[in-house]
Amino acid sequence: MLANRAGFSLVIDGTDIADTIAPHLNPGALPLDGKKRVPRLISLSLTERLQEQADRLEITLSNHDGELAPVKRGRFIDLALGWVGGRDVMPGLISKGRFKVDEVEKEGPPDTLTIRARSADLTGTYRTRRDRSWNETTLGTLLGEIARINGLTARIHPDLASLVITAIEQAAKSDAAFIRDLGERFDAVATVKAGALIFLPIGAQTNTAGESFGSLPLTRQANSRFRFLIPDRQEHDGAEAQWHDRDQGRKRTVTTGADSNPKRIKRSFASEAEARQCAEAESRKAQRGHYQFDYEMALGDPGIEPNQRVTLSGWDSEIDGIAWLVEEASHTLDASGGLGTSLKLMSLSNIRQMES
């Protein structure tokens, strides 16, 4: 029976070094300049988080013989990860994007080299502080302009693109920080990947082109370890926000969701529409995360990403009955070629409130 065999490509400045650092994972790899290749890969891990703009890559290599060439900050890495062959796995490498080295660490003994990198799309002018204001526009137009300035393609979900922005300030903030703030305000995934500025609702059932995501089925049979948690947290059942009514010269309040314990948003808004937008986003946040679930896959799947909806089966009626969302996905390749995926899931709604 064909054994499961993981694989990867790791392209640094145009050269794939996967066979150089892990020749044992590719038995057909040819010697380099007639020299036997020494396995150096200790671990490779990629972490993707729902509300973190930058994906994080960490590679640890053995330098027991002192032969590793220095790695400089600022170099670019392209990663693809997956299965070369086997049973119960989908063969093929999945591109996980481009990264820029921002930290290099050496330690020992035994001597090791650790390379840490983050999404390369989130560097350069995207992190330059700016002062500007936006008036009488839409969220789609605003995000489109920021994407254009940074040489990106704007991919904005239609449910968000038409939202009205009466007035908003970008005061001494980078575009990266400003987009992150907008993600918080509108309860959206706000990130940059593969040259595109992506902005879509957390838990959306369709992508920015309107195509259905579907739900990812995960079973207990495909799980090596799990952890279910009902965290201690303050439970809000709605939200309220204030706005300045110029006609009446006073502040007014809008409330969304139930009103027995609403979350009070501290800032004031320029219009009722914007106050309602923010309150509705906070209400959606209040409905999530009442349950948490950690899931370690027996066989890794690097195609799983944050914001995917998940259905669980094989546990009990409580766990299986909850609608889940991927909050964090970590993919790890170890020295032996084992490929694992660990997921942090959060509930999409407050089931206890729905049942009451």
Q: Which pLDDT belongs to residue 1?
A: 45
Tell me what pLDDT residue 354 has: 35
pLDDT of residue 300: 93
What own/partner pairs with CB < 8 Å and gap ≥ 24 does 61-65 have? 61/21, 61/112, 61/113, 61/114, 61/115, 62/110, 62/111, 62/112, 63/106, 63/108, 63/111, 63/112, 63/113, 64/110, 64/111, 65/38
Fold: same for 124-201 and 215-232+289-355:
no
| pLDDT the model gives residue 139 | 95
The pLDDT score that the predictor gives to residue 79 is 95
Q: So what's the pLDDT on residue 260?
A: 76
Hey, where are the domains in the chain? 5-122, 124-201, 215-232+289-355, 238-285
Instruction: State the pTM of this model.
Output: 0.86
Going from the C-alpha of 110 to that of each of 64, 85, 113, 345, the distances in angstroms are 6, 33, 10, 36
- Here the tokens at position 11 are 């392209």
For the domain made up of 215-232+289-355, give the CATH fold: Elongation Factor Tu (Ef-tu); domain 3 (2.40.30)
Give me the pLDDT at residue 243, please: 86
The predicted structure's pLDDT at residue 178: 92
Segments of the chain scoring below 50 in pLDDT:
1, 30, 351-356
Q: What percentage of the chain carries pLDDT values higher than 90? A: 46
CATH class of 124-201: alpha beta
Q: What is the pLDDT of residue 122?
A: 63
Q: What local confidence, expressed as pLDDT, does residue 39 receive?
A: 86
Quick one: angle between helices 139-149 and 175-186, nearest 10? 160
Question: Can you tell me the distance from the alpha carbon of 45 to that of 331, in angstroms, rounded to the nearest whole number?
Answer: 6
pLDDT tens digits for range 320-338? 999 999 999 999 999 888 8
User: 54 near 118, Cβ under 8 Å?
Assistant: yes
